[in-house]
Structure 1
């Protein structure tokens, strides 16, 4: 079984940290390590600098970032994920729970983060977060991970991986985050016409009519999910249709 590194960044959030700790401790999959970077004990240059420290300390085959306040959806979440990871994919992602709502993953990196950061497993590498981006460095990190992955080694897990704690910096500084995402698209050559208008409309709908937003968010996806395990069992030589994740 692969070793999974769960990386947690914490600063000034003891209650959230305790919740995350309890969630990790409850996991029935024991081939994991917990890497904690505590901003109250060691200085850093922001959350992504702290996450880079976590990457440097990690020894696992795969990394998942579960920051203070976030939690796995159940005690067997890592066991479920390990069933996918043992096949050696480059990048694996699943759905998330946010504010009591099931938030399905999207399958097009051009539209922004395909799912919450806490619902993605990255094969460990020397890649680091670009700390020039204070809000959307996770988008660049993820887009690069997908670009570097073999097309047939990207897997989607059709279940919620994390319970996302709302109110973080990306949700408080939405406009800045969008601007950084646009800069990253230009830097990486990702074409996404009209995406800014779509994001503004979605944010407005989420604010003024949450039930409508969540109903639409749960119903529509940009592509059919790719399950690497099902594909390999059905016809190893001909993978089933994959999400449009490649840049």
Structure 2
């Protein structure tokens, strides 16, 4: 069997229902020159049973499929495990509940060859049933924020093997990686279309303050932390939203987000 062009990696823990949606979506892809890897953190729900049952479905489509289920040290430790066992030239992290935008999306990406280190596209974000397209931002924004969702990024296996995710970051290791690669002038190519569908309820969204603190540490480590009017405005904006959430609760935030997604 030839080496796959792409490795799609899903990390999960006790998320069987969400994982079922992702697996169904991956199996629906028209272009199948990829392998699918699931790195499970020793789930206690029905995840392992479901994965065992899924083996036949992938075999029928001649898609290489492997999974492991064992304890890990967090999301990025699990992602690094996936990097180590992946055999594709490109890596895509599509975690439990994440979806590829359409059945033809992988064909659209890989119908031509790419020489860049990282490919990135737009994302359809979902929040409580509402959807909105979020276009990738200019790469210079990586200094302050994620310019694109990692679910919409294809990364060279060779690059990620050399620079695995820094597991001292609990929320922002992917952001740290992309900013580090940008500052090292690695090549990025923009894909002008949505790649994935991502529900705004992930780990980083539930850990806003930790994420904000890790961004400061990341900026300092990479030498891009500077006091400036932009920095001051972003700090005010973050803490205003943070204290609004504390004062009025999650239901108020849900209402605001739903209106923004209309």
TM-score, normalised via structure 1 length: 0.78
**Relative to structure 1, is the Cα distance of residues 195 and 97 closer, same or farther in structure 2, using a 3 angstrom cutoff?**
farther
Q: Once structures 1 and 2 are overlaid, which stretch shifts more, 201-210 or 166-175? A: 201-210
**Relative to structure 1, is the Cα distance of residues 20 and 66 closer, same or farther in structure 2, using a 3 angstrom cutoff?**
same
**Relative to structure 1, is the Cα distance of residues 80 and 195 closer, same or farther in structure 2, using a 3 angstrom cutoff?**
farther
1:110 correspondence with 2:138: no
- In structure 1, runs of 5+ residues without a counterpart are 216-247
The equivalent position to 1:30 in structure 2, one of 26, 29, 32, is 32
Q: Distance in 1 between matches of 2:260 and 2:237?
A: 10
**Which SS does the other structure have where 2:146 is aligned?**
coil
- In structure 2, runs of 5+ residues without a counterpart are 43-68, 245-251
CA contact (8 A) 1:135 1:177 kept: yes
Q: Distance in 2 between matches of 1:149 and 1:14?
A: 39
Q: CA deviation at 1:162?
A: 0.7
Aligned length: 212
CA contact (8 A) 2:151 2:198 kept: yes
Q: Which has the larger radius of gyration?
A: 2
> In angstroms, what is the RMSD of aligned CA positions?
2.5
The equivalent position to 2:189 in structure 1, one of 143, 155, 175, is 155
Counterpart residue number, 2:124: 97
**Relative to structure 1, is the Cα distance of residues 200 and 16 closer, same or farther in structure 2, using a 3 angstrom cutoff?**
farther
Q: Distance in 2 between matches of 1:199 and 1:6?
A: 36
CA contact (8 A) 2:216 2:225 kept: no
CA contact (8 A) 1:95 1:161 kept: yes
**Relative to structure 1, is the Cα distance of residues 212 and 87 closer, same or farther in structure 2, using a 3 angstrom cutoff?**
same
Q: CA deviation at 1:198?
A: 2.4
**Relative to structure 1, is the Cα distance of residues 71 and 185 closer, same or farther in structure 2, using a 3 angstrom cutoff?**
same
CA contact (8 A) 2:4 2:87 kept: no
CA contact (8 A) 1:90 1:149 kept: no
